[in-house]
Each structure stands twice: as C-alpha cells, then as structure tokens.
Chain A
Amino acid sequence: MGLDFTVIPKYLDVVLLGCVWTIAITVVAAILSFFGGIIFAVIALYAPWIVRLPFRAFAWLFMGTPLLLQLFLIYFGLVQVGIDLPAFVAGVIGLGLHFAVYNSELIQTAILAVDKGQMEAARTMGLSRGQALRKVVVPQAVRDVIPPIGNNMIALLKDSALVSVIGVSELTLTAQLAIGRTYRPFEFYVLVAVFYYIINLGMEAVLRRIERRVQAAR
C-alpha cells in the first residue's frame, strides 16, 4: 500500500482540535491528581485507622492494576450505579484518580522525610498538629516532591491516549477517525506521535521552569 503523507493536510485541523482536547484532559487530570495526591497522602498518614485501612486497600488495588482496566471500571461502573457520565468526565476522573494514588505515595514519603524538628518547632510555638501540618510540614513536602510528581504528569500525558479506548475525542481517537476515512494508519499515527512528542517537550519545559521557581523560593 505504501505511504502517502499528502492526506494529512486535509485533516490537520481536526487533529489539532484533538490535540487541544488532549492538553485539556491532561491539565485537568494533572491538577486533580496533584491535589488528590495531597489529600490521599494526609488521609493515608493521619486519618483514624477505620478510614486509613480501607483507604490503603483501595490504594493498593489501584497501584496493582492497569490504568486501562480502571478506566473500564469507572466508565462502566458509574453507569451501573446510576451515574451516567460522558466519557470525557470518566476519562479525566480515571486519570486523575490513578495518578493521585501514585502521587500520594510520593507525598507520603516526602512528608515523612521533612525533618522531625520542623514539627517539633511548630508544636512548641503552640500550633496544633493540624495547623503544623498545614502550614509547616505539608508545604515543605510538596516543594520537595515537585520533580517526581512532574515525571508522573508527563506519564499522565502519555497515558491520556488510553481514554480514546472509552471513546473520548482526544488526539488518538481523532486520528482514528481520520484513518477511518483515509485508510492510512501509519501516516496519521506517526503524525499523532509527533504531536505527543511536541506536547511532551512543552510540558517538560514548563515543569523545569516550575522546578526552578520552587527552588528559588527556598
């Protein structure tokens, strides 16, 4: 059949739209996974055992199973419970939840690594445990953990391609639509790969700037 890249220009605008969706999904899920990670970390470390144990079991389950499987669960599962979410929302929740769990592991380690002396100093000044955590420990832990979480966000970008399997019109699915019309999978998948690579580079640049600013604030 051979290759023919001239089919691309006609569908470029559609693919670019898919690009925008991919970026949107990635950004929203990333934000979710960041704050979700902090919340999960605090729960995993400081909640009463009756909350902590089932939570740990859930986290363990989510880290031991593939993202795609989790996406199926969320998308089809919520319908079962009566919540009919559009695929887009299910995809964002799935991605956000998955990475929130991984981020929470990183944040837990970072919180525990923050010097014990910090907590002691805060308590000595009269802060309650909750206040000390909120104002002293967690902010420092979050600062320490930005680089590895940044890596998780890059992974999130790449994994966002999976939501195409549950029908979300992002970059990958858009390419498939174009392929459906032109029967040229190689050309469009390579095009899509290039777009992902470029978005990836952009994300890395942004993350590096954020890292630098966080470092400067020390």
Chain B
Amino acid sequence: MDFDLMWTVYPFFLKAAWVTIQLSVLTTLLGLICGSLGAAARLSRHAVFRGMGAAYVSVIRGTPALIQLFILYFGGPQIGIQLDAFEAGVIGLGVNIGAYMTETIRGAIVAIDKGQIEAARTLGMSKFQSLRKIVLPQAARLMIRPLGVNINAQIKGTALVAAISVVELTYTAQRYIGSTYKPFEMFLLSGILYMVIIYVVGQGIAWLDRKARIA
C-alpha cells in the first residue's frame, strides 16, 4: 500500500470530493422538486396528470440513469439543448432521482390514515386545507427516512457523471489509476471520501428524523 502516493495526491481528491458534494446537493434539490411534482401529478383528480406522472415514473425507473444522462448530454444538441457536462449531470440525475422520490413522497401521503382526512372534511375543511394542515405535516415526518435512502443512493449515483468527464471523485480515481497504476490506493482514497460524505449526510437525516418525531 503506497501511502506516500496517497499523501501526495489526496488534495486533488478533496477538490473532486467538493464537486461530488455539489452534485449531490443540486441533484437532491432538483429531485425533491421533481418528486413533489410527480407525486402531485400521480395523486391528481385529473386522469391526464395521473397518466403523465405514472409515465414519468415508469420510463425513468425503467431505463438506466447512464442512458438518460447520455441522451441529455450527447443527444441534447440535436434537439436544441446545449448543456455542459456538469449541468447535464445535475439535470439528468436530478430528474432521475425525482422519479424515485415521487414514489417515496406519494407513499408517505397515501399512508396517512383516511379517517383523519374524513374528520378534517367533516369539520368543513376543504381538500386543500386538510392536505395542508393534516396530511402533509404527517407525511413529511414519514418520508424523511425513505428519502434518506434515496439520497444515500443519489450520492453514489453522482459517480455516473464520470462517464461524461465531470471531474468528481470517481473520474479522479480513474484518472489517477491510469497514471499511477495503483488502483487499490486510488479506490481507497475516493472510497473513504464517499463514505465520509454519506456518513455526514446520514447523520443529518437521522437528526432531522429525530427532530420530526419529537414534535
């Protein structure tokens, strides 16, 4: 195990880790937005929206994220979309994780006991009011841990942008494996950084979950 080499190159990996963090944050945010829209669509009164939501989930979850990324980045210019690799990564992966989050969010909303909604409606609250005051506050609590699972997967999923040459952790590992011929060391360096990021985020989710339960 060549520790000297690891000591020499680790600053580059730290820089790359920062890119991975940025990707993780941005794709998670975009994913939450898409997920919320998707869940709203799937729960809508109108069959058109429900169909669109279901199609979104089915197509995105039924095809590889890598292909979705390639369609956006390489194929985009053909339909007038010009994005740089980072942008394509954020949008492509964000929309991708959004499909999974749609199901997570929808699942939490649907899990709220129907009797509560009946009680709220019986008091005279509108559908929207009961959603806002009764369903969503409780669903939000329920969805924190499963969303944490989505986010955990997403952090690792950002590695895909290495395939379109975004200089994040996995790309950097590959590059240095190529020049140093030390795959184990490079794997270890990037692996540890990934796990640190995942651990910190995991703690954050757990904290959020605890806070939500106390209230």
Contact = CB atoms under 8 A, between A and B. Distances in A.
Whether A and B touch (Cβ < 8 Å) is answered with yes
B65 A158 contact: yes
A72 B163 CA distance: 12
Contacts of A53: none
A46 B70 CA distance: 44
Contact of B162 (A1, A68, A80): A68
B174 A72 contact: yes
B170 A189 contact: no
B157 A186 contact: no
B5 interface: no
Contact of A190 (B64, B75, B163): B75
Nearest to B77: A1
Contacts of B159: 66-69
Interface stretch (B123-131, B186-194, B207-215): B186-194
A77 interface: yes
Contact of A186 (B79, B173, B181, B182): B79
Interface string A63-104: 011111110110011001000000000000000000000000
Contacts of A162: 66, 160, 163
Interface string A34-77: 00000000000000000000000000010011111110110011
Chain A facing B: main interface SS: helix
Nearest to B184: A77
Contact of B187 (A2, A64, A73, A160): A73
Interface string B63-95: 111111011001111110000000000000000
B74 A189 contact: yes
B195 interface: yes
Interface string A195-218: 011001100000000000000000
A1 B78 contact: yes
Interface in B152-166: 156-160, 162-163
Contact of B191 (A65, A67, A76, A164): A65
B170 A201 contact: no
A145 interface: no
Nearest to B157: A66
Contacts of B163: 68, 162, 165
B115 to A, nearest CB: 29
Contacts of A161: 64, 66-67
B67 A172 contact: yes
A192 B67 contact: yes
A184 to B, nearest CB: 7
A167 interface: no
Contacts of A200: 62-63
Interface in A153-186: 158-162, 164-165, 172, 179, 184-186
Interface of B: 59, 62-68, 70-71, 74-79, 156-160, 162-163, 169-170, 173-174, 177, 181-184, 187, 190-191, 194-195, 198
24 contacts: A1-B78, A3-B78, A64-B194, A66-B158, A67-B156, A68-B170, A69-B169, A69-B190, A70-B187, A72-B173, A73-B184, A73-B187, A80-B183, A158-B64, A159-B64, A161-B67, A172-B64, A172-B67, A186-B76, A186-B79, A187-B75, A189-B67, A193-B63, A193-B68
Given A185-B78, A186-B71, 18 more contacts: A2-B78, A3-B78, A66-B194, A67-B156, A69-B173, A69-B190, A69-B194, A76-B177, A80-B182, A159-B64, A172-B64, A185-B75, A189-B67, A189-B74, A196-B62, A197-B62, A197-B63, A201-B62
